[in-house]
Amino acid sequence: MTRPDKPGQLINWFICSLCLPRVRKLWSSRRPRTRRNLLLGTACAIYLGFLVSQVGRASLQHGQAAEKGPHRSRHTTEAPFPEIPLDGTLAPPESQGNGTTLQPNVVYITLRSKRSKPANIRGTVKPKRRKKHAVASTAPGLEALVGPSLQPQEADAGAPEYAQGGNLAKTGERPWRLVRGPAVRAGGPDFLQPKTRESNIRIYSESAPSWLSKDDIRRMRLLADSVVAGLRPVSSKSGARLLVLDGGAPGTVPRCGPSPCGLLKQPLDMSEVFAFHLDRILGLNRTLPSVSRKAEFIQDGRPCPVILWDASLSPASNDTHSSVKLTWGTYQQLLKQKCWQNGRVPKPESGCTEIHHHEWSKMALFDFLLQIYNRLDTNCCGFRPRKEDACVQNGLRPKCDDQGSAALAHIIQRKHDPRHLVFIDNKGFFDRSEDNLNFKLLEGIKEFPASAVSVLKSQHLRQKLLQSLFLDKVYWESQGGRQGIEKLIDVIEQRAKILITYINAHGAKVLPMNE
């Protein structure tokens, strides 16, 4: 008999060694069978029977385990330890000699790292139970535009030199150009069909933000989701193109006027989208609707800003892109005259234009927050420009000695509304340091709009910008999501604090300008 090696077996062995000799002695001897001896013998007999049953059960289980051993080893070969990570952090269970695997008596618990979750902004969380309806083209019932489409020129042969004259070629980035890809139908009725029917303008709350009107939302969806029926070149060195969108009358040739159009600009001009939302939040309402859109027919498929083409804008000159020709000197004189303020008609000798005095205050505030210099400071005289800035590229920097004769640019009005300005070409700069801000943009401004200043002073500018920019899905993703948008908002908030300090230090007035 083998030597026992477990505590239970030792106890059984010890009891058996005591009981067997005593039972044998009781039954073989001639002593009287007293009540004590009978009870002791009966207990020993019962215990021996119990030991015999345990030995039989153990042998039966051992035989079944030996039969099922090969099947269990094959199963473990197919799926090795599904509950244990395979990165080497935990050792596999030990294996016995008979082929069976001894599972460890351990419970593995995965601890998730605790991360800070940002607060939910209203309208930026998609409801789980509500199904968002897709928004297709703004022209219901028109599956395809009847008539010939405006096809782009080939990228390799005969392409216009708009990329070389644009900003991308000057800054060292790869210039984008028109290409023919799988999304472009040569000679087909549609120039570009949208890949998905889900709108790129996402609104998950019951209504859009209050600072965006119904027309703004409709135009944003028009620019983001409509089918592109053709392209038209624009006489501009920036390389912009007009997208003729599907929405005209059936049977007409796609062109701007009967069909809505959007101005497709370079990927570097993506800040125009941010400028549009900031304009609406501040209550200025002077910019044209702008969205981001991925154009598959553009090289690399990078997102580009698309600005609504407004045919009601007054004609502009080719040199300054302005409907009103002004120099810096005459502009400062207009600020002193306060033209059309409080309903007063200016005198003929005052030199006033049809633009209201408050429009210049709104433009100065807007341009300072985004550091837009191509309107009021075309020669870059108020800050230290970089080599890739337009004023340095065009050799305008040395002309700062005669600032009075410097021409203003991009001063645009509407034909039917000459009192108010329209802010175009709103490319902002977020990488301008605080010690290099252009305060020349604020020169001569003595009043600021109360609605915009109240938003800048409040603690809700960040929340409103997040909620508004979230609507544009392509722009949100192109900037790196919420983390990238937060960095842009940090810059605007810091400039807002500087602007408020400037207003208080110079004693500027804050007036309601909602005429």
Q: What are phi and psi of 317, to 5 degrees?
A: -75, 160
The reported pLDDT for the residue numbered 449 is 97
Radius of gyration of the chain (CA): 40
Q: Is residue 178 part of a domain?
A: no
Smallest CA-to-CA distance from 99 within 60, 77, 70, 75 is with 70
Give yes or no: residues 400 and 456 share one domain.
Answer: yes
How do residues 36-85 score in pLDDT, each as one tens digit? 777 877 887 787 777 767 666 655 555 555 554 544 444 444 444 344 34
Spatial neighbors of 151 by CB under 8 A, at least 6 apart, are 186, 187, 191, 230, 231
Give yes or no: residues 352 and 288 share one domain.
Answer: no
Give yes or no: residues 331 and 447 share one domain.
Answer: yes
Domain C-terminal end among 254, 274, 308 = 308
Domain C-terminal end among 308, 337, 362 = 308
Q: Is residue 352 part of a domain?
A: yes
The reported pLDDT for the residue numbered 45 is 79
- Please name the residue ranges forming H helices in 312-410: 328-337, 357-370, 390-393
Q: Is residue 112 part of a domain?
A: no
C-alpha neighbours within 13 Å on the C-beta side of residue 215: 5
Smallest CA-to-CA distance from 197 within 215, 224, 230 is with 224
Q: Is residue 198 part of a domain?
A: no
222, two tokens: 């028009």
The reported pLDDT for the residue numbered 469 is 97
Residue type, 473: K
Domain C-terminal end among 282, 308, 334 = 308
Give yes or no: residues 388 and 471 share one domain.
Answer: yes
Question: Which secondary structure element, helix H or strand E, spans residue 229, and what is its range?
Answer: strand 228-233
Q: Number of helices (H) and strands (E), helices first, in the chain?
A: 13, 9
- Bridge-partner residues for 241, per DSSP? 233, 264
Q: Is residue 358 part of a domain?
A: yes
The whole-model pTM stands at 0.66
Distance CA 15, CA 50 (A): 12
Distance CA 515, CA 497 (A): 27
Length of the chain: 515
Is residue 402 within 8 A of residue 392, CB to CB? The reply is no
Distance CA 350, CA 334 (A): 8
Q: At what angle do helices 357-370 and 450-457 cross, to 10 degrees?
A: 30
What total of structural domains would you count in the chain? 2
> Counting Cβ atoms within 10 Å, is residue 269 exposed (0-12), middle (13-18) or buried (19+)?
buried
Give yes or no: residues 369 and 429 share one domain.
Answer: yes
Angle value at C-alpha 488, between 485 and 490, nearest 5 degrees: 110
How do residues 464-495 score in pLDDT, each as one tens digit? 999 999 999 999 999 999 999 999 999 999 99
Distance CA 436, CA 419 (A): 33
Give yes or no: residues 232 and 346 share one domain.
Answer: no
Tell me which residue range forms the domain holding 238. Answer: 214-308
What DSSP character marks residue 245?
Answer: E
Is residue 420 within 8 A of residue 393, CB to CB? The reply is no
Spatial neighbors of 9 by CB under 8 A, at least 6 apart, are none
Distance CA 248, CA 100 (A): 76
> 381-400: b or e for each residue (b if 16 or more CB lie within 10 Å)?
bbbebeeebbbeeeebeebe
350, two tokens: 């005052």
The reported pLDDT for the residue numbered 144 is 31
Give yes or no: residues 391 and 486 share one domain.
Answer: yes
From residue 271, how far is each of 124, 192, 263, 291 by CA, in Å?
21, 25, 14, 10
Smallest CA-to-CA distance from 506 within 415, 431, 443 is with 443
Give yes or no: residues 304 and 370 share one domain.
Answer: no
The reported pLDDT for the residue numbered 259 is 81
> 84-98: b or e for each residue (b if 16 or more CB lie within 10 Å)?
eeeeeeeeeeeeeee
Is residue 144 within 8 A of residue 190, CB to CB? The reply is yes
- For tokens 């009966």, what's the residue? 42
Q: Is residue 376 part of a domain?
A: yes
Give yes or no: residues 332 and 428 share one domain.
Answer: yes
Give yes or no: residues 365 and 461 share one domain.
Answer: yes
- For tokens 């005591």, what's the residue? 18
Low-confidence ranges of the chain (pLDDT < 50): 1-2, 68, 70-115, 133-195
Give yes or no: residues 362 and 441 share one domain.
Answer: yes
Give yes or no: residues 287 and 421 share one domain.
Answer: no
Distance CA 209, CA 207 (A): 7
Q: At what angle do helices 357-370 and 481-506 cross, to 10 degrees?
A: 130
